[in-house]
Amino acid sequence: MLTRESWILVLIVFADTFSTYWLISAGLATEANPIMDWFIGLSWFAFFAVKGATLGLALVFAEWYRRKNPDFVQRWLRFGIVGYLSIWTLGVLFSSL
């Protein structure tokens, strides 16, 4: 069972992924991350697969390690949530300038 922090991270990554797809498809944005931009150049399937695999591996490891050190994992998942939201927000703000 995923923790609350893991679910929040899943929702944020899904929102980022699908908003990226929508905005780029509509011609309203470009991908700022050159690695992810390369995957988009291959195909949207590749982009979605890499986003999903990255998130999945991170959460599998976090949930596995949570049994050994729950406070540490909770702290780092919260840090990840704040970090992801911060980078996403800054990216949206700077792309609209």
Residue ranges per domain, the chain? 4-95
- pLDDT at res. 32: 85
User: What DSSP line would sit under 35-97, residue for residue?
Assistant: HHHHHHHH-HHHHHHHHHHHHHHHHHHHHHHHTT-HHHHHHHHHHHHHHHHHHHHHHHHHHT-
Task: Name the more confident of 61 and 1.
Answer: 61
- Considering the chain, what percentage of its residues have pLDDT values greater than 90? 80
The alpha carbon of 65 is separated from its chain's Cα centroid by a whole number of angstroms, namely 20
Distance CA 80, CA 52 (A): 16
Per residue in 56-90, pLDDT (tens digit) is 999 999 999 999 999 999 999 999 999 999 998 88
> Does 97 have pLDDT greater than 80?
no
